[in-house]
Copies of this chain bind each other. A is one copy, B any other.
């Protein structure tokens, strides 16, 4: 299914130092499951024991692990990254054939560039542009006046609303939605009045968007996702959010409207970022954390409630509801303690 490479082929293409026999490998695998025609790697010393037991035919190791195995191996400064490159080499995406499936519905005014593949039962709206070599899988819904750059890949069921723009080499996983109306409602005294959402979604190059993730169009201005951003599954990006380049968010995270997130940030799963905030570059927000104020300094931020047994939680959590009273008692005790010390000072005097 994939090609076969000798270790010397890999070193020639990707660098690194070959030690031992120049064996051929067919696939990448974990230390625990690798077979004789597969290559594995050690990046985390925690798995060192597995290194002794692996049946892998070859290994990628860091310089410090040079002699931890006598198998055929490639030494690389960053074995995880090197292994990823081997993985990518051995497992290129399986492209469907170019061309428009006869069951797809493509507007006559759409511009479909060279080598594009449009799958069964997909649809493309008026005046949209699909860049060269892009893959639109089955059942995708591309609205009117959408622009998708070259080399993109939309998995099945993706919906792109009118006027959205995706850069080059975007990957969008199944059933993601880009360009839906933001949550704009004005109270008119008796009901919510819908605020037309007339901004767009603008996405840079080399962005990946996860399955069932939703990105709302802007209200007046645009929602912007910069180059190289990574969004996992089930993420919600509200209108007019701006996400800086190479920021990565794990699954189930939500970002409320008009928040501006810097570059090179990371977010653990189920984080929630409130609206109209600003997060600096290189801010790391840990999983489950609600960010309720702007964060202007790079660093790692957390707000996780620690898990306990139900019994311990019952005993402890109830005090949260009267923490202020507890703090007041302590202050009072300190005051009295000071007086006592003073009193005793007097007594000792």
Interface residues of A (CB under 8 A from B): 27-30, 32-33, 80-81, 84-85, 87-88, 91, 93-94, 101, 103, 105, 119-121, 123, 137-139, 141, 143, 155-157, 159, 161-162, 171, 173-175, 177, 180-181, 183, 185-188, 191-196, 198, 206, 208, 210-212, 214, 216, 220-221, 228, 230, 232-234, 236, 238, 246, 248, 250-252, 254, 256, 268-270, 272, 274, 285-293, 295, 299-310, 312-313, 315-324, 326-327, 329-330, 333-334, 336-337, 340-341, 343-344, 347
Contact = CB atoms under 8 A, between A and B. Distances in A.
Given A138-B123, A138-B141, A238 B212 contact: no
B174 A161 contact: yes
A250 to B, nearest CB: 6
Given A285-B307, A329-B330, A336-B341, 7 more contacts: A33-B220, A81-B193, A87-B196, A171-B181, A254-B270, A290-B304, A319-B323
Given A88-B194, A270-B272, A287-B272, A180 B159 contact: no
Nearest to A181: B173
A208 B180 contact: no
Contacts of A319: 323-324, 326-327
Given A88-B196, A234-B254, A321 B304 contact: no
Contacts of A194: 88, 171, 208
A251 B255 CA distance: 9
A192 to B, nearest CB: 5
A105 B88 CA distance: 31
A209 B242 CA distance: 24
User: Nearest 8 pairs between A and B by C-beta?
Assistant: A141-B156, A180-B211, A303-B307, A288-B290, A300-B310, A159-B174, A105-B120, A91-B196
Given A313-B302, A337-B333, A344-B343, A246 B123 contact: no
Nearest to A316: B323
A254 B251 contact: yes
Nearest to A290: B288
A238 B251 contact: yes
B155 A156 contact: no
A177 B180 contact: no
Contacts of A27: 198
A234 B174 CA distance: 14
